[in-house]
Amino acid sequence: MILLKIYWRTKAAIKKLCFKIMFGKRFSVGKNTTFRKNFGLYLEKGASIKIGNDCFFNRGCSVNCLESVEIGDHTIFGENVKIYDQNHKFRDRTKLIREQGYSTGRVKIGNNCWICTNAVILKGVEIGDNSVIGAGCVIHHDIPANSVVKSNGGITIESLD
């Protein structure tokens, strides 16, 4: 077990160094933060990502940033968590969706949070300290500190009209 921890910490240190070289001051990460296999990071020119101390990203997590993503200390992520600070614009029917650009909004995740497997955090969201986001939840509005969010499995379908 000790060798495995050394392995993951070494890989994380190399990954952090690569991100720092690629993104410079726009990417910052605290001490003892680790990334498992297939961690993805997309950082647009002019955007910034700040990750606190002692965070953990499990396999398949990704952070996609066109504006700003901030993650507090001691926050842990289950497998395949996705964070997006942008969304496609799609209301102009005279244009293809991919040609309409993006709307953006800062994402902030507090200290000591647990974001469970397959959760998706969308633009403009702030998650307060000590919160738990359940597996498979899609978060599209603010979550107060000390909250537990669970999915009820339901969906809503709206018309574009």
pLDDT tens, position by position, 39-94 = 999 999 999 999 999 999 999 999 999 999 999 999 999 999 999 999 999 999 99
**Which residue in 74, 88, 140, 141 is the catalytic one?**
88
Interval 24-35: pLDDT, tens: 899 999 999 998
pLDDT band for 160, please (50, 70, 90 cuts).
Answer: low
Q: 9 versus 59: which is more confidently predicted? A: 59
pLDDT of the residue at 24: 85
Prediction pTM value: 0.88
88 catalytic residue (yes or no): yes
pLDDT of residue 116 exceeding 80, the answer is yes
pLDDT of the residue at 3: 85
* Domains of the chain, earliest start first: 2-149 (2.160.10.10)
Half-sphere exposure of 105 toward its Cβ, with a 13 Å CA cutoff? Answer: 13
Report angle CA 77, 153, 136 to the nearest 5 degrees: 15
pLDDT of the residue at 56: 96
* Phi, psi at 62, each rounded to 5°: -145, 150
